[in-house]
A and B are shown apart, each in its own frame.
Chain A
């Protein structure tokens, strides 16, 4: 078992004195090399779970374990990929990919340069090493974010809605790219999204969450064969899974749209 969430609850204190429960009693076990997606409506706390897994946030209750050790702070074994890319605007592509390596302080400069070159090529950005983020498209920027995370050779990749800021077509292409890159190494991945298609396409298992407060609604195993191309989205099994998850979530979203609270 690679990652384990045990009864994790996260509550945020409010300025008026009360507290907002983002996630409640979250249980999940992730195996090594598994690609797990977490899908749910806005506000269900899925991004919060990633932050807890990375050690950037302490759970109000419950614990997270990585390889049976308690997670309390970020570490070299887990790397985060951000929805907003989070690339330092004053660094080039090379400089950004190198950031994680710099902070690790494990390699010599020449080793770092080699690694950077390798991963920039892996994500398909050869030739753009000297570019600045503002010169790149959204998809390219996210590739830089991915390269940066992969460069530190983490055991676990934590991806927080990484394609949410991209347009629909780029999104599709990026998810296919992601699987291609993932197939090389088969790292453990926790991928958060609110796109159902994306969740099914990428995952070995899908965690469907409800919101207010965020809880695990169902965990679904995806049996589709790998490697998967985008064409698999027409496969009947795929469609079935997608419909099933949509039905699960529809009630949640309807409640939100109607402005009503959680059903008892």
Chain B
């Protein structure tokens, strides 16, 4: 019952918003050029897909995203496990990681462009920087929160440090790792757009910047919607994995 209500009322609100938006120009509230209308946006969307250009840019962007994201997993998970397991490395690195996390990635763009090259290189770097932190932090916290009793159990049966990693820490941390990956995807996509907006010759972000600077509002909004949809898709997929995992594994209460 509640779920239906949620869909109904939410849907109604969105429709109302779209209707008001559509009517805003004729009603004289704002100028078309400024705000555009849902119909124009839809037209722009159709036009973009028709010419096929958008798919080329999407392809480039997704490439950058997946490379950067894969890197962030490859770096973030093992590092997170180590930081979660051993206190000293964590305490030593914590301020540095915090400082890196607090720096807006956009601000680092000049440096990243010079270091890794315009377009591809810098964008991959921004995606990496965006996604790696949630993955790292969630992995570390997940490992740290694993009940010590499991480690003691493995110890008591003669397990080595390696056994603890393979039989307790990694399997035990899988749910938080997946959560970290989900959070990282959002930030990664944001990074992809921002990176391309700043300095790229191809890609969705670059297109956004292009249309934005040309004040082509319908196209701009259409592109923004595409990016949001993409993010929504990825996050939903990962949520599915998360839910299935949680069902299978439900942690036992003490």
Measured CB to CB, the residues of A under 8 A from B are 54, 56, 74-76, 79-80, 82, 84-91, 99-100, 102-104, 132-134, 141, 152, 165
Contacts and interface: CB of A to CB of B under 8 A. Distances in A.
A82 B150 CA distance: 10
A104 B149 CA distance: 19
B157 interface: yes
Contacts of A86: 147, 149-150, 152-153
B154 interface: yes
B97 to A, nearest CB: 26
B171 interface: yes
A102 B249 CA distance: 21
Nearest to B159: A103
Contact of A103 (B149, B158, B249): B158
* The 6 residue pairs across chains A and B that have the minimum distance between CB atoms: A86-B153, A80-B156, A100-B157, A134-B250, A103-B159, A86-B149
Nearest to B168: A88
A24 B123 CA distance: 64
Nearest to A133: B252
A54 B156 contact: yes
B157 A90 contact: no
Contacts of A100: 157
A110 B249 CA distance: 26
Given A88-B153, A99-B157, A132-B249, 8 more contacts: A82-B152, A86-B147, A86-B152, A88-B150, A88-B171, A91-B171, A103-B157, A132-B250
Most buried by A among B149, B159, B252: B252
Contacts of A102: 167
Which of A76, A100, A152 gathers the greatest number of chain B CB atoms within 10 Å?
A: A100
A143 to B, nearest CB: 15
A99 B254 CA distance: 20
B157 A74 contact: yes
Contacts of B250: 89, 132, 134
A89 B249 CA distance: 6
B47 interface: no
Given A80-B156, A104-B157, A88 B167 contact: yes
B161 interface: no
B34 interface: no
Contacts of A84: 149, 254
Contact of A89 (B155, B157, B163, B251): B251
Contacts of B163: 103
B153 A99 contact: yes
A56 B248 contact: no
Contact of A76 (B152, B154, B158): B158
B158 A56 contact: no
B49 to A, nearest CB: 44
Contacts of B155: 56, 74
Interface in B230-254: 248-252, 254
Interface string B141-178: 00000010110111111110001000110011010000
Contacts of A54: 156
A165 B254 CA distance: 9
A79 B186 CA distance: 47
A90 B249 CA distance: 5
B157 A82 contact: no
B158 A104 contact: yes
Nearest to A101: B157
20 contacts: A75-B158, A79-B157, A82-B152, A82-B153, A84-B254, A85-B252, A86-B149, A88-B150, A88-B172, A89-B250, A90-B171, A90-B249, A100-B157, A103-B154, A103-B158, A103-B163, A134-B249, A134-B251, A134-B252, A141-B252
A75 B157 CA distance: 7
Nearest to A83: B149
A215 B248 CA distance: 46
Contacts of B158: 74-76, 103-104
Nearest to B249: A90
Contacts of A56: 152, 155-156
Contacts of A89: 172, 249-252
B19 to A, nearest CB: 48
Most chain A CB within 10 A, of B152, B157, B174, B249, is at B157
B101 to A, nearest CB: 30
Contacts of A79: 156-157
Given A84-B254, A152-B157, A90 B172 contact: yes
Contacts of A152: 157
